[in-house]
C-alpha cells in the first residue's frame, strides 16, 4: 500500500469512527453488537478527542486507517477492512517508531490476528491482565518492542557485521535466489581481513536491539548506499526503517539530494516503500554466477526553512 500519513484533526473524527466500527465488527468477533455499541461513545467522546491521531490516507487522500498514541503507547490502530493486509498497519507503526522509539501496546487476547500482527512486527509479550481497561472479562496481552538504537561503526564490529551480512543473504534472500547465487554472493570461506578493511572503509551505521547488533547500512559521500543488511533474527522489527531514517538524516546533514543503491530482488519492495524507484535492471556476475539486482534511485526534496 502506497499511502501518506498525516496528523488527525477533529474534522477526521466521523470518518475515523466509521473505520473503527467497521474494523471492530470485522476483527473483534468476541464482542457482541451490544458490546460494540457500548464502546462507540467511549471511542467518539473520550478516545478520539484526546489521543495524538495519525491518519493513513489512500491514493485519493481518503482515510484508510488511523493510529491513536499516548506518548510511545499505541492506544488504537485500526485499518478499514478493504485495506487489510496491504502494509498500512506496518506503515503506521514505522511512523510511530520514528516519533517515539520503542513502542508498547495492549491487545485483546481474543483477537489472535492482532496479536500475531504485533508479534510479527517485533513486539514481545511482557504481561497479561484478566480484565480490559473497563473492567470487563476481555483479557489483555501487554506487549512492547525491544529498545533499538543506531550508532556509527566501531573497531571490533567486523565479525558481527559479517554474520548479519551472511545471514541476511543465505536466509532472508533465499526465497529470491538459488543456492548457487547465494554462495557466490556470500561464500562461507570469506577473507576476514579483506572484510574488516571494507567495513573500516565504509564506516556503516550499526543498529542495535537491546545491545545486540541487528543490522547495518552505509551511505557514501556520493549518496550511494553500498551495504544495507538486517539480520534475519531481527526481520520485520523496524530495524531497516531505523537505518533508512538514519541515512536520510545523514543525507540532509551533508546536503545530498539523491540516494542510489544496487538493490537485491528481496530488498526492492522495502526500498520502493521508502520512495526509491528502479532506474535500471542489472545483472552483475560474481564467481561466474549472475546475481540480478536493480539500480534504484531517490531524489530527496530539500527542506524548506521554517
d(CA 167, CA 165): 6
In angstroms, rounded to a whole number, what is the distance separating the alpha carbons of residues 6 and 56? 7
| Alpha carbons 294 and 124: distance in angstroms, whole number | 35
pLDDT tens for 263-274 read: 999 999 999 989
Between 120 and 39, the more confident residue is 39
pLDDT band at 302 (very low <50, low <70, confident <90, very high): low
pLDDT in tens, 179-238: 999 999 999 999 999 999 999 999 999 999 888 999 999 999 999 999 999 999 988 777
pLDDT at 97: 87
Choice between 110 and 122, residue whose per-residue pLDDT is larger: 110
pLDDT at 305 over 60: no
CA distance 298 to 278: 9
Q: What is the mean pLDDT of residues 238-244?
A: 89
pTM passes above 0.85: no
Q: Structural domains in the chain?
A: 4-145 (3.40.630.30), 148-299 (3.40.630.30)
Distance CA 138, CA 156 (A): 49
| Terminal Cα distance for the chain, rounded | 31
Cβ contacts of 158 within 8 Å, gap of 6 or more: 192, 195, 196, 199, 200
- pLDDT score, position 304: 42
pLDDT in tens, 60-105: 899 999 999 999 999 999 999 999 988 899 999 989 988 888 899 9
Spatial strand order in the sheet of 228-230: 148-152, 205-209, 212-217, 228-230
pLDDT on residue 148? 81
Amino acid at each position: 500500500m502506497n499511502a501518506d500519513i498525516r496528523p488527525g484533526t477533529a474534522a477526521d473524527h466521523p470518518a475515523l469512527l466509521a473505520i473503527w466500527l467497521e474494523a471492530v465488527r470485522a476483527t473483534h468477533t468476541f464482542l457482541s453488537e451490544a458490546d460494540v455499541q457500548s464502546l462507540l461513545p467511549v471511542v467518539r467522546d473520550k478516545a478520539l478527542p484526546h489521543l495524538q491521531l495519525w491518519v493513513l490516507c489512500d491514493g485519493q487522500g481518503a482515510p484508510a486507517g488511523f493510529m491513536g498514541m499516548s506518548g510511545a503507547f499505541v492506544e488504537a490502530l485500526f485499518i478499514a477492512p478493504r485495506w487489510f493486509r496491504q502494509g498500512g498497519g506496518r506503515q503506521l507503526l514505522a511512523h510511530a517508531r520514528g516519533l517515539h522509539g520503542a513502542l508498547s501496546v495492549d491487545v485483546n487476547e481474543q483477537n489472535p490476528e492482532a496479536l500475531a500482527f504485533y508479534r510479527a512486527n517485533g513486539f514481545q509479550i511482557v504481561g497479561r491482565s484478566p480484565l480490559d481497561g473497563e473492567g470487563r472479562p476481555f483479557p489483555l496481552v501487554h506487549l512492547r518492542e525491544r529498545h533499538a538504537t543506531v550508532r556509527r561503526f566501531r573497531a571490533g564490529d567486523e565479525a558481527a557485521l559479517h554474520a548479519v551480512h551472511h545471514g541476511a543473504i543465505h536466509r532472508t534472500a533465499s526465497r529470491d535466489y538459488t543456492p548457487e547465487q547465494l554462495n557466490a554472493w556470500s561464500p562461507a570461506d570469506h577473507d576476514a581481513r579483506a572484510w574488516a578493511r571494507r567495513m573500516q572503509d565504509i564506516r556503516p551505521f550499526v543498529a542495535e536491539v537491546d545491545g545486540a547488533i541487528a543490522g547495518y547500512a552505509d551511505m557514501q559521500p556520493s549518496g550511494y548506499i553500498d551495504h544495507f543488511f538486517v539480520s534475519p533474527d531481527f526481520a520485520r522489527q523496524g530495524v531497516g526503517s531505523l537505518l533508512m531514517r538514519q541515512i536520510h538524516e545523514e543525507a540532509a546533514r551533508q546536503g545530498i539530494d539523491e540516494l542510489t543503491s544496487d538493490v537485491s530482488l528481496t530488498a526492492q519492495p522495502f526500498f520502493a516503500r521508502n520512495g526509491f524507484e528502479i532506474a535500471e535492471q542489472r545483472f552483475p556476475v560474481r564467481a561466474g554466477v549472475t546475481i540480478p539486482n536493480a539500480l534504484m534511485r531517490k531524489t530527496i526534496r530539500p527542506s524548506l526553512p521554517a
